[in-house]
Structure 1
Amino acid sequence: MKALFLIVIYLVAVALPLVLSAWVGGPPRQFHQELASGLGILAFSMILAEFILSGRFKSISNGVGMDVTMRFHQIMARTALAFALLHPFLYQGTPSGGLRPWDPTRELTITTEFSALSTGIAAYLLLPSLVVLAIGRKQLGYKYETWRLLHGIGAFLIAILLLHHTVSAGRYGSQPLMTWVWLVLTGVAAGSLLSVYLLVPFLQKKHPWRVTSVVQLTPKQWELIVQPEGHPGLDYRAGQFVWLNVGHSPFSMKENPFSVSSAPAAGPAISFMIKELGDFTRTVGQIRPGTLAYLDGPYGNLSVDDRTEPGVALIAGGVGLAPLRGILRQLRLTGDSRKVKLVYGNRRFDQIAYREELDAEGAVFVLSEPPDTWNGEKGFIDGSLMDRVFSEDEFREWVFVMCGPAIMMDIVENHLIERGTPSDRILSERFDYD
């Protein structure tokens, strides 16, 4: 229900400028020209809405899930890009004034004022670059912090350029009412950036944390534990994640999302299971106890709190164990009577984290490259393995929670649907979307 409500709010917000433009506009033009203006208006309003769909607003991402929020963010960004790229090519007719060297046929421009057109041209070139860089971030190999900074600056610059272009060159945007509407919407978008980059860090500075322990779990996985300093800690649900900043100012860009692997019932200390993958994670082992840290969260809705299913199935792949371990520990610490089964996949034996703890819980370990002495499950977490672990009744009645490689989650989700598991009983979380 909340997801439907948020979708309605989004559609109303995005369509509002279009509706108001039709109300205050002049005599109708040819259809293709009106379509061109409509696509431009929708593209701009969708771009401004992207600032809110960044995943850093709890009322959205915690309500519908980070997966849904970020996927919707990506789809709408690409839709806005398509509208924006098509928008100028639908203008045909004879604009006032003289010829422009980039438009000898007078088909593209609706004004000959270069100041009004230049900002639109700049945004037209910058927007696809921003989208392509976001899609190919990992392939291009630059640091996450660098990408995040460039992405934020680029998005803000596009918004300012489009604001000027819309109110200067647009037939509808130049109307006094629409000028104010665009100013307000752009202000809201800019305010969301200020909230993320200034207000939240300011509040974080008043609630610091200290690293109390850094322990190596496997050859490339670490457990990092932080303790609140001078405050009661974080109000979170098992399975959620936070943005973690260790050893830097809260105003720096050096923060990364990590799932919480501890349970709220265990006390105020929070633990993370971190795998060496990127620039920060490769240095986790060098962090010393006492190092200052900051947390922004909690985010996500990968939680089984308040659910009524008779059993909980936890499907983990690699470091995806982190939030599921938090859920498992919370269930045990609170004396929850629901049945629990944990399936945990890795490539090698030495990659299994918390092996003794999970073995005591009856976890099903799966190795794709097992040693010769291995007597457990071999291969991958797929449909046939799921059929061996879960019964028909469990497929129909339990809630399934998973976190791990995207391909694993896709395979498991598809098999669960085939076996009759309702979609609202399949919970998953991804940090990679392309």
Structure 2
Amino acid sequence: MKPLFLILCYIAVIALPLVLSWLVGGPPRVFHQELASGMGILAFAMILMEFVLSGRFKAVSTDIGMDVTMRVHQLMARVALGFALLHPLLYRGTPAGGPRPWDPTRQLVITTDMSDLSTGIVAYLLLPSLVLLAIGRSKLDMKYETWRWMHGIGALLIAALLLHHTIYAGRYGAQPVMTAVWVAMTAIAVGSLCYVYLLAPLRDKTRAWRVRAVRQMTPKQWELTVAPNGHAGLDYKAGQFVWLNVGHSSFSMQENPFSISSAPAAGPEISFMIKEFGDFTQTIGQIQPGTVAYLDGPFGNLPIDDRPEPGVALIAGGVGLAPLLGMLRQMRLTDDPRQVKLIYANRSVDQIAYRDELGTRNVTLVLSDPPENWQGETGFIDGPLLDRAFTSEDYKNWVFVICGPPIMMDIVENHLLKRGTPSDRILSERFSYD
């Protein structure tokens, strides 16, 4: 019920300024003017809620998943952009001018005071740039940390501009009650940004970690292990992830999300399975033991510790093995009585990590480019392969945990639903959409 509650809270918050404006704003105007104001109000409320959706709040990520909140963040940003772009266009045909003695509530005219309009105009130009830059980030030759700085500062600037524009140029925002509401909502939005970039790093600074070991697993995959430095460690569940910062200040933007591949039952040290891909991951092999590290987390809703299903299906593609490996290790260390099967896909045999540890019992290895003497499955994880691994009863009664490339996850999820697996027994987390 908590995800539904959070959704209702979100709807209530973005609708609150609209409802209050209707209650305190005076006599209604013609329809197109009211529609223009309504779209502007909704756009600003959504933009302010974007700050909260992009924050790292465990109460949200643990129950519905950070990937879900980030997906909502992306979708709502585009809806808000649409409303914002339409907002001024709908005022066409409305007389413009300064304050009129016979029109104190601005029912007949819209303001032409450039000091009030200019902030809205600047925000109108910045918002599409911010959204388009986020959508096309993966195609740009830009460091992730640089983009984060630009995105955060840009969003903060847009919020400040819209607050001024709403209060001084808007008919409804000028009402004392609405001014107080907008200031309070903006303060909460900015506060969530301060939490992520100031308060959380300040907290993490007192809980430093040290790199314990760096071990190469495959030609492009590494195992990085960190140990707590003077504290008890991290209270996490197998399958969760953290934001990892290695070799920088706790306030640095040089951090990335990585799934934990170790098991809580193994002790306080934490391991990560990391594939060389971006700026940071390509330097993993150069990290020296003893290097300081900071962890922000845990996050994620993949854990299966308290689930009642009699069996657990773990389906991984490439480095997607990381969180599932943590689950498998935890189940083995705690003598978990549930049945478990692992399907693990890679392109070539030299990409298979932890092969000796995984063993062969209830483990299916899949290669898309197998050698001539390969005895395992070939091709990709698809419906026929899943049907060979699982029975009809498995589909209906087991919990399925999926992590890997988006296309693999789509294929697996669609097949599971087709075979009758309830959606609440399909666990996955995604961090790539566009």
Same fold (TM > 0.5): yes
Provide the rounded CA distance (Å) in 2 between the counterparts of 1:360 and 1:383. Answer: 22
The correspondence of residues 137-152 of structure 1 with structure 2, limited to 5 A, is 137-152=137-152
What's 2:80 paired with? 80
Partner of 1:106: none
CA distance in structure 2 between the aligned counterparts of 1:265 and 1:222, rounded to whole angstroms: 22
Say whether 1:27 aligns with 2:27.
Answer: yes
Q: How does 1:117-128 map to 2 (within 5 A)?
A: 117-128=117-128
Shift of 1:61: 1.4
Q: What is residue 406 of structure 1 aligned with on the other side?
A: 406
Q: Structure 2: how far apart are the matches of 1:141 and 1:368? A: 30
Distance 1:56 1:396 in 2: 34
Query: Displacement of 1:67 after TM fit?
Result: 2.3
**Structure 2 counterpart of 1:89:** 89
Contact 1:55 1:61 in 2 (8 A): no
The answer to whether the 8 A contact 2:96-2:111 is kept is yes
What is the SS of the residue equivalent to 1:252? coil
Identity level (%): 71
- Structure 1 residue 163: deviation in Å? 0.2
Q: Which runs of 5+ in 2 are unaligned?
A: 100-108
Cα offsets for 1:108-140 (capped at 9, x unmatched): x82111011111011111111111111110101
What is the alpha-carbon distance in structure 2 between the residues aligned to residue 287 and residue 348 of structure 1? Answer: 27
Alignment of 1:367-406 (within 5 A): 367-406=367-406
In the alignment, which residue of structure 1 is the partner of 2:315?
315
Larger deviation, residues 360-369 vs 349-358: 360-369
| 2:334 corresponds to | 334
Distance 2:300 2:399 in 1: 17
1:63-212 → structure 2 map (5 Å cutoff):
63-91=63-91, 92-97=93-98, 110-212=110-212
Name the CA distance, whole Å, in 2 between partners of 1:240 and 1:145. Answer: 23
1:433 deviation in Å? 2.1
- Structure 1 CA distance, aligned partners of 2:371 and 2:151? 44
Deviation at 1:373, TM superposition (A): 1.1
Question: Residues 195-225 of structure 1, C-alpha deviation per residue, up to 9 Å, x if partnerless?
Answer: 1000000000000000000000000000000
- d(CA) in 2 for partners of 1:66, 1:186: 23
Give yes or no for contact 1:204–1:294 (8 Å, CA) kept in 2. Answer: yes
Give the Å deviation of 1:345: 0.3
Instruction: Determine the C-alpha separation between the residues in 2 that align with 1:340 and 1:302.
Output: 15
- Point out the more displaced range, 352-361 or 17-26: 352-361
Give the deviation of 1:360 after TM superposition: 4.3
User: What is the distance in 2 between the residues matched to 1:200 and 1:373?
Assistant: 52
- Unaligned 5+ segments in structure 1 are 99-108
1:238 and 1:303 in contact (8 A); partners too: yes
Give 3-state SS (helix, strand or coil) of 2:233's partner. coil
Partner Cα separation in structure 2 for residue 41 and residue 24 of structure 1: 14
* Match of residue 102 from structure 2: none
- Paired position in structure 1 for 2:222: 222
CA distance in 2, matches of 1:359, 1:127: 52
- Aligned runs of 1:338-349 on 2, under 5 Å? 338-349=338-349
8 Å Cα contact 1:250-1:294 kept in structure 2? yes
Contact residue 247 and residue 293 of structure 1 kept, 8 A = yes
Tell me the alpha carbon deviations over residues 150-179 of structure 1, each in whole angstroms, 9 at most, x when there is no partner.
111111111000000000100000111111
Asked if the contact 1:51/1:193 (under 8 Å) is kept, the reply is yes
Write the deviation string for residues 22-69 of structure 1: whole angstroms up to 9, x where unpaired: 111021100110010000000000000010101511111111112211
CA distance in 2, matches of 1:300, 1:110: 47
Aligned-pair distance for 1:260?
0.3
Tell me the distance in 1 between the aligned counterparts of 2:139 and 2:314: 31
| TM-score between the two structures when normalised by the length of structure 2 | 0.96
Superposed CA RMSD in Å reads 1.0
**Which residue of structure 1 aligns with residue 54 of structure 2?**
54
Alignment of 1:418-433 (within 5 A): 418-433=418-433
Amino acid of the residue matched to residue 95 of structure 1? A
Query: Which amino acid in structure 1 is aligned with residue 96 of structure 2?
Result: P
Deviations 1:257-299 (A, max 9, x none): 0000001111000000000000000000000000000000000
Preserved contact between residue 222 and residue 273 of structure 1 (Cα < 8 Å): yes
- Alpha-carbon distance, 1:187 to partner: 0.4
| Aligned-partner SS, 1:400 | strand
Give the match for residue 105 of structure 1.
none
Asked whether the equivalents of residues 226 and 271 of structure 1 are also in contact (C-alpha less than 8 Å), the reply is yes
Contact 1:81 1:127 in 2 (8 A): yes
Paired residues of 2:248 and 2:254 also in contact (CA < 8 A): yes
For these two proteins, the number of residue pairs brought into alignment is 424
2:417 aligns to what? Answer: 417
Change (3 A) 1:55 1:418: farther
1:294-305 correspondence to structure 2 within 5 Å: 294-305=294-305
2:247 matched to 1:243?
no
Alpha-carbon distance in structure 2 between the residues aligned to 1:160 and 1:409: 40
1:260 and 2:240 correspond: no
* CA drift at 1:362: 3.2
CA contact (8 A) 2:211 2:224 kept: yes
Q: Structure 1: how far apart are the matches of 2:222 and 2:181?
A: 50
Distance, in Å, in 1 between the alignment partners of 2:241 and 2:144 is: 18
Task: Find the aligned partners of 1:420 and 1:233 in 2 and give their Cα distance.
Answer: 41
**Equivalents in 2 of 1:361, 1:94: separation in Å?**
77
Whole-angstrom CA distance in 2 between matches of 1:361 and 1:429: 26
Q: Deviations over 1:289-314 (max 9, x none)?
A: 00000000000111111100000000
Q: Give secondary structure in 2 for the equivalent of 1:298.
A: strand
